[in-house]
Amino acid sequence: MTAIMAGLALAAGLLTTAAPAASAEDVGAQAYTWKNVRIGGGGFVPSFVFNRSEPDLVYARTDIGGAYRWNEQGQEWIPLLDSIGWDDWGYTGVASLATDPVDPDRVYAAVGTYTNDWDPENGAILRSSDRGRTWQRTELPFKLGGNMPGRGMGERLVVDPHNNNVLYLGAPSGQGLWRSTDAGVTWQKVTTFPNPGDYVLNPDDPGGYENDIIGVVWVTFDPSTGSPGSTTQTLYAGVADLDESVYRSTDGGRTWSPVPGQPTGYLPHKGVLDEETGDLYVATADNPGPYAAEDGEVWRYDTGTGQWTDISPVPAGGDRWFGFSGLTVDRQNPGTVMVTGYSSWWPDTQIFRSTNGGDSWTAAWQWGNYPQRDKRYTMDVSAVPWLTFGENPQPPEETPKLGWMTEGMEIDPFDPDRLLYGTGATVYGTTQLTNWDRDQTFTVRPFVKGLEETSVRDLISPPSGAPLLSGLGDIGGFRHTDVDQVPAMMFRQPSFGTTSSLDYAELAPNIVVRVGTHVGDGTDPLIGFSTDNGAHWWSGSTPGGAGGGTVAAAADGSRFVWSPENTGVHHSVGFGNSWSASQGIPQGARVEADRVDPNRFYGFHQGTFYISTNGGATFTASAAQGLPATGEVRFGAVPGRTGDIWLAGGGLWRSTDGGATFTRNTGIDADNIGFGAPAPGQSYQALYSSGVVNGVRGVYRSTDTGATWTRINDDDHQWAWTGDAITGDPRIYGRVYLSTNGRGVIYGDSA
């Protein structure tokens, strides 16, 4: 197989971004405007790539939320991969990104989310000649891991600074090094590259997430060995190997050999060449990241003399409890280099800076009189106030933190004062970086406007109060009083990382309930109640350590039904002070409430619909036949209509008799269903769904009780996966809120 792959030239394909012509059933972008509900980040940003020939041209890549380009005038990020469709959802994980230093209009993205079977597709190289507005693609014969271990290492994808038709890609999974000589259209394996890497984080991982080879993780050119229009002759490559990790070619990539005298025992997260001094810097760790690492080193290689020097900011045997990454050099001031202790979780991340090539370092903070820390910086998170996480930690910990998972860090090559770095939740930066060298304080603040990366689990839009409440992965969720403003704080008291389900009482919408699971360690109960529309919360009790799953509030807020993911369905009268097991419904059922009758609750599990008329105490299986027995199924009851239920799961079914019978709607193969304000002149709620109509995948609306469906998005606005939550706004006809897995909450308004 290796021999076959070595000679394979990969054909290019087109990633369509142009919208089809509008019709009576397809109104698309001409009738809808789409925006993000503003949150202000929320996910891991592994790296930034500045163009070396044009100021202010900078890109960011995320692990599940696509790629972005910086808009200097608006001081915001522009999403570039919203055209990724449902079937190509894995392309939203960006394993690497490259901007062309010769032709700044060209940009490339190496995409693919998982190298195991979670992602059914192989990876691809996306290429654009208009700065990411439109893309073409070349499919690869192997997978890429934008959300796999080692995703903060890199960059794996690079463009030759002199001959921009030449690109290199470092591959995972033992696939080695690949090269393109036609600007990314076709790719061939570099058969002379001697080491595809052998490091595996956890060979015994049964889930397949940690047992893949990390592979070739970065390539760096030496521009002094080329001239415009000719191929650069000297290149360096980093490989996830504990014995020989740095390789060099001096003949334009034809042959490669390990660099003599190199350090061993660690993984090379980053390799950056200071072209003016001829020093190659390598930041290493004992773990591929982006989470754990307990040790590492920083080395300087003099490319002229061949001498390696250990320049670790914290020497061996010192107070070093982290690995190094986030490596960057100041292109305006040779010899200035920075690196992060990316895995320093407690009491904070650490950033180091040297102005003499690593001979000596200063730190962003150092110990004062314990537990106090002396800091060179101040934090200003007023633009994204929830970054304090509502915490009040004991010193030496502080909030907001300087960061965590700080693998991506870059000094602007045109402006030594501008620094950007990513964390597990946002983008931080400063425009006062050189204050550091004058022992003056500099301000760190979020640079995240427009970059929304959250995994959305549930959405509700009550008829009064805040227009939207969101349930999110990792950061809980928010009460959005203004969808165009960043909320002040995520849900607190109780605090749990992932909200799996939300509901409100239809007839008393100030009553809200949410359930979820902890991310990492957590002790708060996993259910919260509010009587002021989600502005304030208190904890309920949990039946038998329950967590996650789905929850439903009675129409008048008098009782609740909870189907946790780890125990059976339970019901409670009042606000969850005590719970009783519900009878007649299996564990794992999805539960919802009737929106008129407080005693009626519904459930669904593996093809069977369940009905309760006594507040969730007992359920009875419906005799309804033909409902989906497998796959994800979501359903909801229509506000203002007792027993009017729509059920979606690869199709769409409706019941008007409280679930006793269902009739299939043949107009759409729906994955979810939501309700919003009726169209003018109509009395029945507008229906919204992510699904397929006449073979066309899209987001659809019906204003005639499901008789006809109109596509309201277009091919430029697909956001990959939109199959979880969807809801209309009960107060604004045409407004719809969509969940995504990595692009945050999207909302659309009808023109």
Q: How far apart are the first and last CA of the chain?
A: 54
In three-state secondary structure terms, 664 is strand
9-32 as b/e: b if 16+ CB within 10 A:
ebebeebebebeeeeeebbbbebb
Question: Could you identify the residue written with the tokens 């394909």?
Answer: 13
The two tokens of residue 256 are 């490669």
d(CA 178, CA 426): 32
Residue 133: burial class (beta carbons within 10 Å; 0-12, 13-18, 19+): middle
- List 63, 88, 669, 724, catalytic entry: 63
Residue 455, amino acid: S
> How far, in whole angstroms, is CA 577 from its chain's centroid?
36
The two tokens of residue 76 are 């915001």
Write the DSSP assignment of 83-116 as a string of letters: T--GGGGGGGSEEEEEE-SSSTT-EEEEE-S-SS
The residues, any chain, with a CB within 8 Å of residue 521's CB and separated by 6 or more, are none
624-647 as b/e: b if 16+ CB within 10 A:
beebbeeeebbbbbbbbeebbbbb
Q: Are 111 and 91 contacting, i.e. CB atoms less than 8 angstroms apart?
A: yes
- List 56, 415, 474, 524, catalytic entry: 474
Residue 52, amino acid: R
Q: Are 466 and 479 contacting, i.e. CB atoms less than 8 angstroms apart?
A: yes
Question: Could you identify the residue written with the tokens 């045109």?
Answer: 414
DSSP 749: E
Asked if 310 is an active-site residue, the reply is: no
Classify the C-alpha dihedral 665-671-672-676 as positive or negative.
negative
Count CA within 13 A, CB hemisphere, residue 500: 21
Asked if 474 is an active-site residue, the reply is: yes
Question: Could you identify the residue written with the tokens 């403003």?
Answer: 485
The residues, any chain, with a CB within 8 Å of residue 330's CB and separated by 6 or more, are 336, 337, 338, 411, 416
H-helix or E-strand spanning residue 590: strand 590-593
Catalytic residues: 63, 474
